[in-house]
């Protein structure tokens, strides 16, 4: 939860109750940098809005008002997954200037609380799965995906997701630059289990060169 963005969202005036709640939900999901990636369904479930299109419209309105930026994310197979949002709620803003989209739930019949409940186990499980897919697509050896996903969850205790992805990308780039054979790349499970992501350098030791020399 981003306390800063939560406070900014709560102080905003001129929004319908539903819109304010959705902004509060995003702040509740966000880390300290204001980054979050809940799906439309998760947002709708917490806000009590069944119409996913209405959720999408409100979030696009938030983008036009400068409250957030939207970054599309994709699965390994190219399919869509939940967007990543970067909250950019400006300080000192009281009344947003923009087009008011109708609130189908009605302000009188739907007055949501200003806080949201903590993540359910199902939400957390789904979010972690999506994060792992983002991490997995960057690891250079696709072997034993399930075991890797288990180790990935444990590794989140050491580094946040973004840092793990950054280390994974760097290692994948090293493997590509060095033109390493797949047999010399450790399984993702091994890489995570040995906490190689904590090394100052993500590169492999000179083992590859030594093996190549022996082969030559």
Beta carbons within 10 angstroms of residue 56's beta carbon: 14
Q: Phi and psi for 87 in degrees, rounded to 5?
A: -70, 130
pLDDT in tens, the chain (216 residues): 668 888 888 888 888 899 999 999 998 888 888 899 888 888 888 888 888 889 999 999 989 988 999 988 877 776 767 888 999 888 755 444 444 444 444 443 344 444 444 444 444 555 678 888 889 999 999 999 999 999 998 998 888 888 888 999 999 999 999 888 988 899 999 999 999 888 876 555 444 444 444 444
Tell me the pLDDT of the chain averaged across its residues. 78
Tokens of 51: 């119409």
Q: Which domains can be identified in the chain, with CATH numbers?
A: 3-87 (1.10.10.10), 121-215 (no CATH)
Q: For residue 201, give the 3-state DSSP assignment.
A: coil
Give the distance, in angstroms, between the CA of residue 30 and the centroid of all CA atoms in the same chain.
Answer: 9
Integer CA distances (angstroms), 7 to 91, 114, 121, 171, 173, in order: 10, 11, 26, 38, 40
How far is residue 70's CA from residue 83's CA, in Å, rounded to a whole number? 7
* pLDDT tens-digit series, residues 129-162: 888 888 999 999 999 999 999 999 899 888 888 8
Beta carbons within 10 angstroms of residue 68's beta carbon: 22
Beta carbons within 10 angstroms of residue 31's beta carbon: 14
Judge whether 61 and 99 are in contact, CB under 8 Å. yes
Query: Would you put residue 118 in left (φ > 0), alpha (ψ -120 to 50) or beta?
Result: beta
């Amino acid at each position: 939860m981003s306390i800063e963005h939560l406070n900014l969202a709560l102080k905003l005036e001129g929004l319908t109750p539903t819109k304010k709640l959705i902004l509060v939900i995003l702040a509740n999901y966000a880390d300290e940098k204001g980054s979050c990636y809940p799906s439309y369904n998760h947002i709708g479930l917490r806000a009590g809005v069944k119409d996913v299109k209405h959720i999408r419209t409100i979030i696009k309105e938030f983008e036009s008002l400068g409250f957030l930026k939207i970054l599309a994310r994709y699965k390994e197979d190219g399919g869509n997954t939940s967007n990543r949002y970067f909250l950019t709620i400006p300080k000192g803003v009281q009344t947003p200037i923009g087009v008011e989209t109708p609130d189908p739930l009605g302000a009188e019949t739907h007055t949501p609380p200003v806080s949201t409940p903590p993540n359910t186990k199902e939400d957390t499980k789904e979010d972690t799965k999506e994060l792992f897919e983002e991490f997995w697509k960057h690891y250079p050896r696709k072997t034993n995906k399930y075991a890797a996903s288990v180790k990935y969850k444990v590794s989140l205790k050491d580094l946040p997701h973004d840092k793990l992805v950054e280390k994974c990308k760097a290692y994948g780039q090293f493997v590509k630059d060095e033109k390493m054979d797949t047999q010399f790349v450790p399984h993702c499970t091994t890489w995570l289990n040995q906490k190689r992501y904590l090394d100052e350098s993500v590169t492999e030791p000179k083992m590859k060169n030594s093996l190549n020399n022996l082969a030559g």
